[in-house]
Amino acid sequence: MKKTLLSGLSVLLIMLALIGCSSNSNTPESSGNSADPESSAPASAPAEGEKLDPVTLKIILPGDRPADMDVIIEEAEKRMADTINVKLDLVFVPFSDLASKTQVMLASGEDVDLIFDAPWLHMEQMIAAGYYEPLEDLLAQYGQDAVSVRSQQMFDANKFQGKIYALPLGNSHLDGRTYLIRKDLREKYGVAPIKSYEELIAFANKIKENEKDIIPLLASGQPGQKDISWGAFRAFMTRDPEILRSDALGQSLVLHYKNNDGKVYNLFDEMDPTVWSWIEDARKLYTDGLIHPDVLAIKDANAVFESGDVAIYATNGFGVPAAMKASIPKNVPGAEVEAVTFMPLEKGKITTSFKQANFQAIPKVSKNKERAMMFLNWTAQKENYDLLAYGIEGTNYEAIGDDQYKTLPDSKYSYFPYAWVWNPTLDRLDAGLDPDAIEHLKFNTVADNLIASKLTGFSFNPEPVANEVSLYSAIEDKYYSSLFNGVSDPTETWNKLKSEGEAYLKKIQVELQKQIDEFLATK
């Protein structure tokens, strides 16, 4: 899914977001910090028949403006005219400029009513600078529908400094992880549908033996996508032990959580045998000629897989992306792709923090805070969500039942609900997905199917060890992808990483554990 939102750009965006920002803007004080929205006062939306004065909301969104956007806005404004009476001024900012331009907007006090932000962009920095309005009171008065379509876990997990500073956007409580497989090749060699990692590797060996022009395996080799390097990717599919990446380092396994015990584990202190087995396995696969020989040099792994030259590709999401489903048969006539995941469909098996990657915030400078929340609430009604997420029915999309959709061939409304309306209750699934992917996606919209991490709601403050995080991350970037993709000797590479980074990582670990202990003491 796009919940990680162009993860390949994340590193660039985070670097841009580190531009120093000014102190709190000269804006009114917060409207308050009441308790959880669902336990607060009843809603105070306009009464039936009451028409509010017209207001234009300026909304900042990422990416490129869809060609049919004006048509969608016109229909939305028509629907809102007799109730919340809102007009929409949507400003799209290219991803390449998103961090810097939105920071300037906020720092300069530009009149903005709603703005996209994310932890991978500069959300914590903007909150620390005092640019965003806490939303508890606004949600209680004007946002009851916006609350009802999101789980309590989603709100609990996505507080910052103990408050709801932005509306979490997500259509799932857990990110999907998938191996995309050339189904036509699997069937060509009489291989049964793949149900385990061992069967996956057996198929890869079959490709090596019989398809000299096809590379069996591909994962990401870029520093900004360390979590989907071949060996590290296996953590997403392994439950015993259940190893989760830490809040301090994000994609790295060198600091990690294990079995939901509230402790921070450091592989420099003691190498976990399961993790080491993943590293050694990746090395064997690489030296045996199964992993792409140029894995570290590939900038766009999607494009390489779409070319048809790879049999198995580790990637994010569930199911086969629509673009790949269309492009691969064009590049290789007769080619077909299927998705395989080893993530369980059993309640109480997977731990998650319920954190989301994307948010909509209301800046303190907004003169229309109440109306902005009314608009967010309006988007949480089914027919309105469908309009903003998928466009005009019959022109841009076809509704398939209550929970699926099909994009129509001539649609000029690109998919971007992740930027402003996403929620797990109203979101439709692409009807073109395979049944297994749909089952996984539906399963993960139900928060109670998952185990809540002890650290749900915890937010790491990197400031005390910002220098160590920066220095260690630069060191790790030199070795991690090579290590977990099997490109270099495991022992030699690990020893280099440890000798250069151990001292920095220990300080990060101590600070992270300290903050976790303080957090758990308040629960």
Give the sign of the dihedral formed by CA 115, CA 119, CA 124, CA 126.
negative
- Residue 136 shares a structural domain with residue 194: no
Determine the number of helices (DSSP H) and then strands (DSSP E) in the chain: 18, 17
- Residue 143 shares a structural domain with residue 186: no
- Residue 320 shares a structural domain with residue 183: yes
Cβ contacts of 204 within 8 Å, gap of 6 or more: 216, 217, 285, 290, 311, 312
- Residue 190 shares a structural domain with residue 304: yes
Residue 38 predicted with pLDDT over 60: no
As a whole number of angstroms, the distance between CA 466 and CA 464 comes to: 6
* pLDDT tens string 306-355: 999 999 999 999 999 988 999 999 999 999 999 999 999 999 999 999 99
- Residue 326 shares a structural domain with residue 418: no
User: How many domains, the chain?
Assistant: 2
As a whole number of angstroms, the distance between CA 80 and CA 388 comes to: 13
- Residue 427 shares a structural domain with residue 469: no
- Its domain, for residue 426, covers 56-172+355-434
Model confidence pTM above 0.95? no
In a domain, 48, yes or no: no
Scored b (16 or more CB within 10 A) or e, 341-360 reads bbbeeeeeebbbbbbbbbbb
As a whole number of angstroms, the distance between CA 257 and CA 265 comes to: 6
Residue 2 predicted with pLDDT over 50: no
In a domain, 26, yes or no: no
pLDDT value at residue 459:
85
Backbone angles phi, psi at 271, to 5 degrees: -70, 125
* pLDDT tens string 196-252: 999 999 999 999 999 999 999 999 999 889 999 999 999 999 999 999 999 999 889
350, 451 in Cβ contact below 8 A? yes
- Residue 229 shares a structural domain with residue 327: yes
As a whole number of angstroms, the distance between CA 221 and CA 480 comes to: 9
Identify the domain boundary among 371, 401, 434.
434
Identify the domain boundary among 401, 434, 467.
434
Q: Examine residue 241 and say whether the peptide bond preceding it is cis (omega within 30 degrees of 0).
A: yes
The distance between the two most distant Cα atoms of the chain, rounded to a whole number of Å, is 73
In a domain, 43, yes or no: no
- Residue 107 shares a structural domain with residue 181: no
Mean per-residue pLDDT over the chain, rounded? 91
Cβ contacts of 385 within 8 Å, gap of 6 or more: 379, 417, 421, 423, 426, 427
- Residue 425 shares a structural domain with residue 461: no
- 238 Cα distance to chain centroid: 20
- 317 Cα distance to chain centroid: 10
As a whole number of angstroms, the distance between CA 360 and CA 111 comes to: 16
Identify the domain boundary among 374, 403, 434.
434
In a domain, 141, yes or no: yes
Neighbours of 70 (CB within 10 A): 11
Q: What is the SS3 assignment for 230?
A: helix
- Residue 158 shares a structural domain with residue 191: no
Taking only Cα atoms into account, the Rg of the chain, rounded to an integer number of angstroms, comes to 24
* pLDDT tens string 236-279: 999 999 999 999 998 899 999 998 999 999 999 999 999 999 99
DSSP state of 453: P
How does strand 167-169 pair with strand 255-258? unpaired
In a domain, 15, yes or no: no
36, 136 in Cβ contact below 8 A? yes
Instruction: Identify the CA nearest to 45 among candidates 78, 6, 4, 86.
Output: 86
In a domain, 445, yes or no: no
- Strand-pair partners of 178: 315
Looking up residue 396, the CATH number of its domain turns out to be 3.40.190.10
Q: Tokens 């009464």 — which residue?
A: 47
Instruction: Identify the CA nearest to 140 among candidates 29, 28, 31, 27.
Output: 31
Neighbours of 297 (CB within 10 A): 9
**Mean pLDDT across 471-483:** 97
- 94 Cα distance to chain centroid: 18
* pLDDT tens string 399-411: 999 999 999 999 9
Q: What is the SS3 assignment for 229?
A: coil
- Residue 292 shares a structural domain with residue 422: no
34, 159 in Cβ contact below 8 A? no
Q: pLDDT band for position 134 (50/70/90)?
A: very high
In a domain, 240, yes or no: yes
In a domain, 29, yes or no: no
pLDDT value at residue 223:
87
- Residue 430 shares a structural domain with residue 489: no
350, 239 in Cβ contact below 8 A? yes
Q: Tokens 């000014």 — which residue?
A: 22
